[in-house]
Amino acid sequence: MYPQMIFGMGTGRCGTVSLTTLLNKQPGVSSTHEGQFCPWEHDLVSFYQSVLKEIFLGKKARVAPVAFYWIKYLGDIFRDVRDPKVICLKRRREEVIKSFAGMYQDRNKWSNPDGDKFDGRNPGISPLSAMWPKYNLPKEEAIGKYWDEYYAIAEKWVKMFPERIIIVDTYSMFNDEKYQRAALKFVGIKRPVIDLNIKKNATAERVEPLILKDISISREAAIEARKNQLVFGQAAYARNLPLNIEVTLSDADWDRLVAMPGYDKIPKKGESIE
């Protein structure tokens, strides 16, 4: 049986670590916090790789990855993940700006390092910088712009898929029993475990980003997926994929996705699969 996927998100500094802790308290739920890597600029292959890792490492009836970067992949989530549910935390704008500014006093993940408004250590030294948007604004103004854009995107998807995604107030989520219970039931947890004493912050232990070789997928499963591949022009649709997602990728992206260590002999398009 495929696991149900619950995606948690929010700008960061808004309670996502606490949400991860709360979800891990629920029966049959495995939740991670920022355990993968997805850039702010849309990258479909990175998204699929991240979802695959969460599914294979979760090993429970519900898998609940929590991360700020899912916001740019909601379209992919609603299109390709089976029966997803999304909780988007929302903390007050000024509180998020203050919290980020205080946490990253000497670093700036939001201002364009090539612009004239950049202040702080160059984020280009870390590939993780790609997970954040860049604006030609001073740091605190850029964080505010990021907050505005983040929730504009979230609200757009709430209007389109109100049965799939909710935006919840961070304070109410962790201080109001009825509110917390309703949010957990929204994502399919029929008998939620309530905890109003969760106090987590960015100093909590995080799951380190995983690399591709950490996935264990049999070569037979990958070949079976390719057997069921139907090609329509430039797109490839993998039916009966032995995962929780249906994949719509170009031939080139499909080859990138299955080009995992140990699978260099997986047949390419047009080759025999016997």
Residues 35, 99 within the same domain: yes
166 and 66 in a common domain: yes
Number of domains in the chain: 2
User: How many residues are given for the chain?
Assistant: 274
Q: What is the pLDDT of residue 173?
A: 95
pLDDT at 227 over 50: no
Highest-confidence range of 125-129, 164-168, 196-200, by mean pLDDT?
A: 164-168
In a domain, residue 118? The reply is: yes
Residues 41, 142, single domain; the answer is: yes
Q: In this predicted structure, what is the pLDDT of residue 230? A: 31
- Residue 150 binned pLDDT confidence (cut-offs 50, 70, 90): very high
In a domain, 205, yes or no: no
Mind listing the pLDDT tens digit for each residue in 58-73? 778 899 999 999 999 9
CATH number at residue 135: 3.40.50.300
The answer as to whether 70 is a domain residue is: yes
Write out pLDDT tens, residues 109-118. 899 887 777 7
Please check whether residues 50 and 154 belong to one and the same domain: yes
Q: Are residues 82 and 172 in the same domain?
A: yes
Give the Cβ contact number of residue 158 at 10 Å.
17
Position 272 in a domain: no
Mean pLDDT computed over 158-185: 95
Q: Of the given ranges (146-150, 167-171, 179-183, 249-253), which has the lowest mean pLDDT?
A: 249-253
Residue 138 lies in a domain: yes
pLDDT for residue 59: 76
Same structural domain, 94 and 139: yes
Q: Which domain range does residue 239 map to? A: 217-258
Q: Residue 267: inside a domain, yes or no?
A: no
User: In the prediction, which pLDDT does 190 show?
Assistant: 94
Statement to judge: residues 29 and 154 lie in one domain: yes
Taking all residues of the chain, what is their mean pLDDT, rounded to a whole number?
77
The reported pLDDT for the residue numbered 255 is 59
pLDDT-above-70 percentage for the chain = 70
Residue 45 forms part of a structural domain: yes
How confident is residue 258, by pLDDT bands cut at 50, 70 and 90?
low
Q: Is 198 a member of any domain?
A: no
Average pLDDT over residues 189-212: 63
Strands 85-90 and 29-33: unpaired
